[in-house]
C-alpha cells in the first residue's frame, strides 16, 4: 500500500525508545515518559498546513524560520516557548525531518533513552498526498450535506451572517455566534446553545454531547454522522438564535 504523510510521521515519531502516540484536541501528539516532543497538525484552524510542531532545542526556531520561512514557522500557542513548526509538503527531505524530530525527542527524553537511539531512522518518503477530506474533514459528502442544511436554516433568519472561527463555519445573530459546524477528528458535529437545563435531557441521546470549551456555558453538539433530521436541526438553530438575537431580530421572525 502507498504511504501518506500521516503514516510517515508516525513511522518517524514512534521510532524512538518508549515513544507513544496520544490524541489531543483531535490531533496526534507524540511523547516520551509523559513529555510531548511532537504534534502532528493538519489544517489547524484553517491554516491549510500539513505540519509537525516540534519541541525543538533553544535557538532552532529562530534559525530555521529566518533561513527557510517557506518551510518553517512559529506555531501558535507553543511558539513562544521555542517550538518549531515544520511544513511537511514543501520539499523538505524526510531524512532532515527525522533529524529534526530526533532533536525534539532528545530535548525531553531521559539521557538513558536518548543513548539507546542509535542511527536515526531512514524511511522511504511518502508517495500519496492527503486527500481533500483528510486535509479538511468538512469536505466529506456527509459533512457537506449537514453544513449546507444548517447554512440554509441559519441564513433564512433575520440579520444572520456566516463567518469563520478557528477554521470552521459559524453563524451569527448580529455579532453573537449561535451555531457552528466542525470536525475535530471524531466526525462532523453541529453545535448550538441550548442552556444547561436542557443539556442533561439531550445527552441521554447518544448523538449529543457537551462540546469542549463551551459545554459549561450551555452549548451542545450533535453528531450528524449518527443521523439527524432537518426539523431537528432547525429547532436547535432557532432556539439558539432566539437566545442571542436582539429584540428587533426576534420581532422580524416569520
136-147 per-position pLDDT tens digit: 888 899 899 999
- Diameter of the chain measured on Cα atoms: 71
Confidence of residue 115 (pLDDT cuts 50, 70, 90): very high
Between CA 39 and CA 76 the distance in angstroms is 12
pLDDT band at 202 (very low <50, low <70, confident <90, very high): very high
Q: What is the pLDDT of residue 21?
A: 97
Would the pLDDT of 24 be above 90? no
Q: What percent of the chain has pLDDT over 90?
A: 83
Secondary structure of residue 247 in the 3-state scheme = helix
Q: Is the pLDDT of residue 184 over 90?
A: no
Mapped onto helix, strand or coil, the DSSP state of residue 250 is helix
Q: How does residue 129 score in pLDDT terms, banded at 50, 70 and 90?
A: confident
For each of the domains in the chain, give its residue range(s) and CATH number, in order of start: 5-130 (3.90.1150.30), 137-251 (3.90.1150.30)
Question: CA-CA distance, 114 to 16, in Å (whole number)?
Answer: 8
CB atoms within 10 A of CB 241: 26
Return the closest-CA partner of residue 17 out of 108, 96, 88.
108
- For residue 185, pLDDT over 90 is answered with no
Q: Tell me how far apart the alpha carbons of residues 162 and 132 are, in angstroms, rounded to a whole number.
A: 22
Mean pLDDT of the region 47-58: 96
Residue 20 phi/psi, 5° resolution?
A: -140, 155
Is the pLDDT at 1 greater than 70? The verdict is: no
Q: What percent of the chain has pLDDT over 70?
A: 100
Round to the nearest angstrom and report the end-to-end CA distance of the chain. Answer: 56
Count of CB atoms situated within 10 Å of the CB of 233: 21
Q: What is the pLDDT of residue 166?
A: 86
3-state secondary structure of 185: coil
Residue 180 pairs with which residues in a beta bridge?
170, 191
Going by C-alpha positions, the residue among 209, 216, 222, 208 that lies closest to residue 150 is 222
Helix (H) or strand (E) holding 24: strand 19-24
Query: Could you read off the pLDDT of 57-108 as tens digits, one per residue?
Result: 999 999 999 999 999 999 999 999 999 999 999 999 999 999 999 999 999 9
- Show Cβ contacts of residue 155 under 8 Å, excluding neighbours closer than 6 positions: 162, 171
Q: pTM of this prediction?
A: 0.78
Coil/strand/helix, residue 151: helix
Task: In whole angstroms, give the CA distance from residue 101 to residue 52.
Answer: 9
Amino acid at each position: 500500500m502507498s504511504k501518506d504523510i500521516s503514516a510517515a510521521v508516525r513511522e518517524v515519531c514512534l521510532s524512538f525508545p518508549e515513544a507513544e502516540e496520544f490524541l489531543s484536541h483531535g490531533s496526534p501528539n507524540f511523547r516520551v515518559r509523559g513529555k510531548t516532543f511532537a504534534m502532528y497538525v493538519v489544517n489547524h484552524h484553517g491554516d491549510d498546513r500539513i505540519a509537525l510542531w516540534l519541541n525543538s532545542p533553544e535557538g532552532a526556531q529562530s534559525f530555521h524560520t529566518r533561513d527557510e520561512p517557506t518551510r518553517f514557522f512559529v506555531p501558535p500557542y507553543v511558539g513562544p516557548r521555542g517550538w518549531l513548526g515544520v511544513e511537511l509538503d514543501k520539499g523538505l527531505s524526510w531524512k532532515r525531518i527525522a533529524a529534526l524530530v530526533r532533536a525534539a525527542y532528545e530535548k525531553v527524553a531521559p539521557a538513558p533513552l536518548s543513548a539507546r537511539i542509535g542511527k536515526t531512522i531512514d524511511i522511504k518518503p511518502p508517495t500519496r498526498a492527503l486527500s481533500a477530506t483528510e486535509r479538511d474533514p468538512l469536505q466529506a459528502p456527509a459533512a457537506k450535506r449537514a453544513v449546507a442544511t444548517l447554512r440554509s436554516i441559519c441564513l433564512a433568519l433575520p440579520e444572520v451572517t456566516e463567518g469563520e472561527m478557528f477554521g470552521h463555519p459559524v453563524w451569527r445573530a448580529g455579532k453573537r455566534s449561535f451555531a457552528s459546524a466542525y470536525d475535530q477528528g471524531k466526525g462532523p458535529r453541529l453545535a448550538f446553545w441550548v442552556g444547561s437545563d436542557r443539556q442533561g435531557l439531550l445527552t441521554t441521546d447518544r448523538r449529543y454531547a457537551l462540546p469542549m470549551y463551551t459545554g459549561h456555558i450551555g452549548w451542545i453538539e450533535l453528531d450528524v454522522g449518527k443521523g439527524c433530521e432537518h426539523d431537528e436541526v432547525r429547532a436547535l438553530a432557532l432556539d439558539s438564535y432566539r437566545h442571542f438575537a436582539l429584540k428587533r431580530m426576534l420581532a422580524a421572525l416569520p
